[in-house]
Structure 1
Amino acid sequence: MGDKAHTHPGAAGRATTADRPASVRNVVLVGHSGSGKTTLVEALALTAGALSRAGRVEDGATVSDYDEIEHRQQRSVQLSLVPLEWDGYKINLLDTPGYADFVGELRAGLRAADAALFVVSAAQEPEAVAGATRMLWEECAAVGMPRALVITHLDTARTGFDEMTAICARIFGGDDPDAVLPLYLPVFGAPGPDGHATATGLVGLLSQKIFDYASGERRELPPDPDRLPVIEEFRNRLIEGVIAESEDETLMDHYLGGGEVDVKTLVADLEKAVARGVFHPVLAAAPAAPGARQGLGTVELLDLIANGFPTPLERPAPAVTTPDGAPRPEISCDPDGPLVAEVVKTASDPYVGRMSLVRVFSGTLRPDETVHVSGHGLTDRGHEDHDVDERIGALSSPFGKQQRVLAHCVAGDLACVGKLSRAETGDTLSAAADPLLMEPWTMPDPLLPLAVRAHSKADEDRLSQGLARLVAEDPTMRLEQNPDTRQVVLWCLGEAHREVALDRLRGRYGVQVDAVPYKVALRETFGARAAGRGRHVKQSGGHGQFAICEIEVEPLPAGSGVEFVDKVVGGAVPRQFIPSVEKGVRAQAARGLTAGYPLVDVRVTLLDGKAHSVDSSDAAFQTAGALALREAAGEGAIQLLEPVADVAVLVPDAYVGPVMSDLSGRRGRVVGTEQAGPGRTLIRAEVPELELGRYTVDLRSVTHGAGRFDRSYARHEPMPTAVADRLGEREAAEV
């Protein structure tokens, strides 16, 4: 790495053999929003010869921003695949959104990849690096995924390259900051009018050569003698870091004894350490200048990917079972093995229909063959369980809006599959004669509610179909038809995620919807004992209606529901009509008494009543029972109950104080804290659901994206009078 004299695009090198897993590299780009991931992908595509100029393929299509929503929102909202060829290797770059709302797309990219490039902007505040990016780094570390870092935006740097490298080493290096070290140092030209200097080249610390990009073509130059002391300092530290991770334990003694270590040996050990996920080189990169053919650091980065990142053969595949859960032997990345592939992304195109991005883990996928589709059935998120056979359509390799036809896709590679009408993101494709199911990857829990309703009668028919297609594409969304509030609710990961959902419903699926205020499922109960008399007497010719009943209502402990007790004596209410009274009471309890919320945790006792031998009926006593309950509620004994959630908030130690203060401001009760790993605290609290509507957004703001939380229903408990009054005023204003 760093010693090759590339003077032409990599596509002009050896022919790519994508039929062999060893020639494939799957790399996911991870980074904070605005770090420059998409720009870096385009710069790499230009250097690899896939683009005629920055961001353009030969016919003028862009390599990214496939979705019109991305154009409107000016940010990436979905995973995109950009395949390149470099020196005989096929490199699948998986560009992921940097915004936290679309972490589901990022998790899909991690599932499909064998290595990760963490893109860090030198123009960003260090807190942006230390927030959500650190959690993603830890996710990759947990599965041993190799990682490298790329520092961008050096020309507008808020933080210098050396300082940003030190920050990354502190944040990502953990107990071993020497595991995160620069592989190259940037060379800067004279400062411009804005005071910022442009990086014009790189110094290879192992080769001690300068790779100059000032002309737009990478040229190799001897080092400036004035830079040699700085180069030597960084070079010695890099060599020590590489040797420390070497599998040859004699190298360190040899080096410390004053011996020279051959550069080829260092490069080989570096590549092995990177592939094993124990060493993380830092590089610098910048897009090509107008008219240039290569961007700063792009050749070095492509060489690192090709030579230092693992092949699909080196990464263990997820576990597989039969669809009914029976264990199966481990699968291997063998083109001749049993077919096992996974849908990592689903998208709908108005012209070509549904397209599925698939990673093949075993076997070879061919067009027009019948495969078995096994789904995990995320019923809690609106995804149906299914095990069906489907005939797939054409295979293609995406490049922006282009789809390049493929003859097949071997184990380790990725492809787009058409005409999979039933398959959803996360589903497994396997041989129809040997159905298999891969263990699912972790899906983030959507915690921001979006209540929607059809804008018009004509939209009602399309709404259910549009919602079904929406959640089929995005498993991080959860569709709920709330039986208590009778609302259709889409649970999202954040405000941007919510806006994309509305945009897709309206634009892609042609469903005009209105977002309406989300309602929390409240309850009513009696705060004290009360009595009521229901009198339903009408005479209008022929049979009339006659029913009178007297009841007593008393509160019960939480969770008791509605009890009905018969204490009528002397036949005041005939036996055949007592069930009618109970039916009327329960129906009225379900409808609510004051605010329309269900009545719970009460005992209703029927004490007395009157009947008529001719005019009494089942319907009359049902009505009387309901009237009696309403009269009892008229004494002002009704109390609103609100749901309370058990909340667990995981935050860096530095944010414990602000988070606990914020929870208190939400009427929350902190019930305990505990350490949850180095520098992390888990805060447990009980918080009313009414106060959690925007908590996923507010927590992200308070913790700079570094906090996350889970919640679960605990119980209903009495709502403070002042809160109930404010809620009533707000609901009255919305009517």
Structure 2
Amino acid sequence: MGDKANTHPGAAGRAVAADQPSSIRNVVLVGHSGAGKTTLVEALALTAGAVNRAGRVEDGTSLSDHDEIEHRQRRSVQLSLVPLSWDGCKINLLDAPGYADFVGELRAGLRAADAALFVVSAAQEADAVAGSTRLVWDECAAVGMPRAIVVTHLDTARTDFGQLTQICAEIFGGDDPDAVLPLYLPVLGPEAADGHAPATGLVGLLSQKIFDYSTGERKENPPDDSQIPLIQDARNRLIEGIIAESEDETLMDRYLGGEDIDLKTLIDDLEKAVARGTFHPVLAAAPAADGATQGLGTVELLDLITRGFPTPLEHPAPDVTTPQGTPRPALTCDPAGPLAAEVVKTTSDPYVGRISLVRVFSGTLRPDDTVHVSGHGLTDRGHEDHDVDERIGALFGPFGKQQRQMNHCIAGDLACVAKLTRAETGDTLSAKDDPLLMEPWSMPDPLLPVAIRAHSKADEDRLSQGLARLAAEDPTMRLEQNQDTRQIVLWCLGEAHMEVALERLRSRYGVQVDTVAHKVALRETFGDKAAARGRHVKQSGGHGQYAICEIDVEPLPQGSGIEFVDKVVGGAVPRQFIPSVEKGVRAQAARGVSTGYPLVDIRVTLRDGKAHSVDSSDAAFQTAGALALREAAADTPVQLLEPVAEVRVLIPDAYVGPVMSDLSGRRGRVVGTEQAGPGQTLVRADVPEIEIDRYAIELRSLSHGTGRFQRTYTRHEAMPPHLAERIRAESDAS
């Protein structure tokens, strides 16, 4: 695995095609923002001959040419695909954003990939493995996804590779740190004036060969006698780690008995352990220096991908049913099987229109085919379910800003599909006469609310369509039309996610919006009993308006709603007008009587009234009923009720104290804690929703990116008087 002399430094060819699933490798790059994932992709592309020394593809553009939004954000915000060819294999590199706000793009990459490269920066030693990266590692471990670790920035950082490898072993290895071991050790060059000795090559621990990159091209050299003792301890530990994962149970006894295990056996067992996801090699990589054709460790990394990572044939496909929910047999990665593909990402191009990145799990996708689109159970996030037929447009593989046409896309491969007008991220594409629906992947809950309104009348006319297109691209966003507060609310994963959404509305869809203060859906109720008289009497020539009603109001237990009781005797209010009074009372309750929030949990009793044989009407008694309720509210205290959510916070044990203290400071009541796994605690608390508007951001800061939470509405409770007075003052001011 990279320990052999490699005779294909960059002549792997520019045409990236695959005719068999066994020749495909789908790999997602995972790591903290700034770890060097995109730079690593460019270095691998250079070594594979996909770009020239200037990092340019055939049309002169760069693989790292970002769109306007990414330039503004100064970070990657979306999943990108770069296909390469190496050693007879097609490698689909999926570069996932490292910032926590774009974890939806990362989850899409995990869905499309069969293995993961975790990129760790030596320049970020203090926080080389961010909390969010650790969470992703655990997700991959839960499904047995093969993983390897790549250390970057060794060319610029004053970092001990061995120390960083040990950190990775402790964090990623868990109970078995010997499952995370280096395959190579850096060879340091002459010490510079600043005392830093950059890495100029690698020594293979198994082969004990030196791979020298100091000239810009990889060369294989025998080790000096002085170098062999320096690597012996690391080599012995690596061999023991490989043997521990071997399926040959006699191998360890033979090794401990002094037998020299041959190199081929060790490499074969290593490749099998990596593909099974039980052993996680650590490698080092760096971009090519000026004028060089290969970056440090890139050949070794490409060899690891092609020889150690699994093919799509070894990766189980998601479960499938019919769109009606009837289970179907498990899919196999067979190009001749039934068509089953999934949209893992949706974008909009100003010239091409909607572009769907698709992973084919079974069958073969071809241009101009008519497919069935099924999906996808996210109606609560503004995504309608789909059950329609659509015609496939062109198939192409993206490369920088190029679009390379594909004649077909077989099982195990990825391709971009143009002009699927109805398909959204998460939807299933299948044969129109055999429709299927794949089990959706887990999506993070968007928990940061952002209220918006159109900037102008012209924007208002375009807003609905723009929001629909935005929702089609991003299933991690939830679109809410709140009837209580009459606000349009985008629920996002964080501030950066919000900024990207608003920028996409402006730049892609031509919709300018303003953000406004997010309102929580408060309620009003009576604090005590009250009685009032509603009098609506007007004479203006001809028929007038005459209605008088007298009511009693009393508070009810929470959740009772509005009760209306008729206790009129003697026909003081004619029977046909009693429903009119009730209608007026309910309409006024919906509008509120104090701050404009709905009035709830009261019983209104109509006990008396007066009518006129000519001037009384349905409208008059509706008005009288509303007036009576307002009059009753003027003579008794009106309580404001605020929504309370059950908040469940999952955090490492080290942050339990600070999180519980923070929840208490938000007027929260901690109702319990429980162990939720090794080193993890689940904290449950009841917290007023008005206090957790920005909790998605604040928990991330408090727990260094390791905390997650869920919120569920439970009830409304009386708001403290001083806060209620502030709300009333704000209502009066507006």
* Contact 2:14–2:85 (8 Å) recurs in 1: no
Is 1:218 the counterpart of 2:218? The answer is yes
Q: State the match for 1:620 in structure 2.
A: 620
* Contact 2:79–2:106 (8 Å) recurs in 1: yes
Matches of 1:731 and 1:622 in 2, distance apart?
26
* Contact 1:320–1:439 (8 Å) recurs in 2: yes
Further displaced range: 51-60 or 243-252: 51-60
Q: State the match for 2:574 in structure 1.
A: 574
| 1:27-176 equivalences in 2 (<5 Å) | 27-127=27-127, 129-157=129-157, 159-176=159-176
> What letter corresponds to residue 513 of structure 1 in structure 2?
V
Q: State the match for 1:643 in structure 2.
A: 643
Which consecutive unaligned segments of at least 5 residues does structure 2 have? none
* Contact 1:592–1:598 (8 Å) recurs in 2: yes
Matches of 1:615 and 1:638 in 2, distance apart?
34
1:219 deviates by 1.3
Matches of 2:676 and 2:359 in 1, distance apart?
34
Q: State the match for 2:683 in structure 1.
A: 683
> What letter corresponds to residue 461 of structure 1 in structure 2?
D
> What letter corresponds to residue 325 of structure 1 in structure 2?
G
Matches of 1:153 and 1:726 in 2, distance apart?
53
Matches of 1:509 and 1:527 in 2, distance apart?
49
Q: State the match for 1:451 in structure 2.
A: 451
* Contact 1:66–1:401 (8 Å) recurs in 2: no
* Contact 1:42–1:54 (8 Å) recurs in 2: no
* Contact 1:375–1:387 (8 Å) recurs in 2: yes
**How many residue pairs get matched?**
734
Q: State the match for 1:716 in structure 2.
A: 716
SS at match of 1:34: coil
* Contact 2:286–2:295 (8 Å) recurs in 1: yes
Further displaced range: 490-499 or 629-638: 629-638
Matches of 2:505 and 2:712 in 1, distance apart?
29
Matches of 2:578 and 2:564 in 1, distance apart?
10
| 1:170-189 equivalences in 2 (<5 Å) | 170-189=170-189
- Seen in structure 2, the aligned counterparts of structure 1 residues 9 and 220 have a Cα distance that, compared at 3 Å, is closer
Is 1:661 the counterpart of 2:636? The answer is no
SS at match of 2:50: coil
Matches of 1:397 and 1:608 in 2, distance apart?
77
> What letter corresponds to residue 558 of structure 2 in structure 1?
A
- Seen in structure 2, the aligned counterparts of structure 1 residues 58 and 13 have a Cα distance that, compared at 3 Å, is closer
Matches of 2:516 and 2:267 in 1, distance apart?
59
- Seen in structure 2, the aligned counterparts of structure 1 residues 92 and 568 have a Cα distance that, compared at 3 Å, is same
* Contact 1:17–1:88 (8 Å) recurs in 2: no
> What letter corresponds to residue 666 of structure 1 in structure 2?
R
Matches of 1:505 and 1:45 in 2, distance apart?
33
Q: State the match for 2:323 in structure 1.
A: 323
Q: State the match for 2:548 in structure 1.
A: 548
1:73 deviates by 1.0
* Contact 1:391–1:420 (8 Å) recurs in 2: yes
Matches of 1:615 and 1:723 in 2, distance apart?
45
SS at match of 1:5: coil
Matches of 1:598 and 1:75 in 2, distance apart?
43
Structure 2 length-normalised TM: 0.98
* Contact 2:535–2:627 (8 Å) recurs in 1: yes
SS at match of 2:214: coil
> What letter corresponds to residue 138 of structure 1 in structure 2?
D
> What letter corresponds to residue 573 of structure 1 in structure 2?
V
> What letter corresponds to residue 714 of structure 1 in structure 2?
T
- Seen in structure 2, the aligned counterparts of structure 1 residues 307 and 340 have a Cα distance that, compared at 3 Å, is same
Structure 1 residues 213-253: Cα deviation after superposition (integer angstroms, max 9, x where no partner)? 11111111222333322200100000000000011111111
- Seen in structure 2, the aligned counterparts of structure 1 residues 707 and 159 have a Cα distance that, compared at 3 Å, is farther
Further displaced range: 189-198 or 603-612: 189-198
Structure 1 residues 159-205: Cα deviation after superposition (integer angstroms, max 9, x where no partner)? 42111111111111111100000111112223445443321111110
Structure 1 residues 440-495: Cα deviation after superposition (integer angstroms, max 9, x where no partner)? 10111111111111111111121111100101011111111111111111111111
Q: State the match for 2:292 in structure 1.
A: 292
Q: Alignment identity in percent?
A: 81
Matches of 1:54 and 1:283 in 2, distance apart?
25
> What letter corresponds to residue 571 of structure 1 in structure 2?
G
Structure 1 residues 553-595: Cα deviation after superposition (integer angstroms, max 9, x where no partner)? 1110000000111122222222222111111111000001111
* Contact 1:562–1:586 (8 Å) recurs in 2: yes
| 1:473-552 equivalences in 2 (<5 Å) | 473-552=473-552
SS at match of 1:293: coil
> What letter corresponds to residue 316 of structure 1 in structure 2?
P
* Contact 2:446–2:491 (8 Å) recurs in 1: yes
Q: State the match for 2:399 in structure 1.
A: 399
> What letter corresponds to residue 686 of structure 2 in structure 1?
E
* Contact 1:344–1:357 (8 Å) recurs in 2: yes
> What letter corresponds to residue 74 of structure 2 in structure 1?
Q
Further displaced range: 90-99 or 222-231: 222-231
Is 1:372 the counterpart of 2:372? The answer is yes
SS at match of 2:597: coil
Which consecutive unaligned segments of at least 5 residues does structure 1 have? none
Is 1:314 the counterpart of 2:294? The answer is no
> What letter corresponds to residue 119 of structure 2 in structure 1?
V
SS at match of 1:225: coil
Matches of 1:128 and 1:674 in 2, distance apart?
29
- Seen in structure 2, the aligned counterparts of structure 1 residues 699 and 615 have a Cα distance that, compared at 3 Å, is same
Matches of 2:480 and 2:15 in 1, distance apart?
51
Is 1:263 the counterpart of 2:269? The answer is no
> What letter corresponds to residue 544 of structure 2 in structure 1?
G
- Seen in structure 2, the aligned counterparts of structure 1 residues 694 and 263 have a Cα distance that, compared at 3 Å, is same
* Contact 1:524–1:598 (8 Å) recurs in 2: yes
SS at match of 1:557: coil
Q: State the match for 1:207 in structure 2.
A: 207
Structure 1 residues 538-564: Cα deviation after superposition (integer angstroms, max 9, x where no partner)? 111111111111111111000000011
SS at match of 1:226: coil
* Contact 1:64–1:80 (8 Å) recurs in 2: no
* Contact 2:673–2:684 (8 Å) recurs in 1: yes
SS at match of 1:197: coil
> What letter corresponds to residue 146 of structure 2 in structure 1?
P
SS at match of 1:359: strand
SS at match of 1:543: coil
Structure 1 residues 522-549: Cα deviation after superposition (integer angstroms, max 9, x where no partner)? 1000111112111111111111111111
Matches of 1:702 and 1:430 in 2, distance apart?
45
Structure 1 residues 394-414: Cα deviation after superposition (integer angstroms, max 9, x where no partner)? 110000111000111111110
Is 1:18 the counterpart of 2:1? The answer is no
> What letter corresponds to residue 550 of structure 2 in structure 1?
E
Matches of 1:198 and 1:54 in 2, distance apart?
22
> What letter corresponds to residue 569 of structure 1 in structure 2?
V
1:613 deviates by 2.1
> What letter corresponds to residue 282 of structure 2 in structure 1?
V
Matches of 2:731 and 2:660 in 1, distance apart?
30
1:313 deviates by 0.6
* Contact 1:65–1:76 (8 Å) recurs in 2: no
- Seen in structure 2, the aligned counterparts of structure 1 residues 251 and 13 have a Cα distance that, compared at 3 Å, is farther
> What letter corresponds to residue 157 of structure 1 in structure 2?
A
Matches of 1:313 and 1:126 in 2, distance apart?
39
- Seen in structure 2, the aligned counterparts of structure 1 residues 501 and 732 have a Cα distance that, compared at 3 Å, is farther
1:299 deviates by 0.5
* Contact 2:10–2:46 (8 Å) recurs in 1: no
* Contact 2:13–2:50 (8 Å) recurs in 1: no
Structure 1 residues 231-288: Cα deviation after superposition (integer angstroms, max 9, x where no partner)? 0010000000000001111111111111101111111110010001000000011111
Matches of 2:527 and 2:294 in 1, distance apart?
75
* Contact 1:643–1:714 (8 Å) recurs in 2: yes
Matches of 1:256 and 1:269 in 2, distance apart?
17
> What letter corresponds to residue 384 of structure 1 in structure 2?
E
> What letter corresponds to residue 332 of structure 2 in structure 1?
S
SS at match of 2:185: strand
Matches of 1:13 and 1:589 in 2, distance apart?
72
| 1:236-251 equivalences in 2 (<5 Å) | 236-251=236-251
Q: State the match for 2:333 in structure 1.
A: 333
Matches of 2:393 and 2:448 in 1, distance apart?
36
Q: State the match for 1:589 in structure 2.
A: 589
Structure 1 residues 299-330: Cα deviation after superposition (integer angstroms, max 9, x where no partner)? 00000000000000111111111111111111
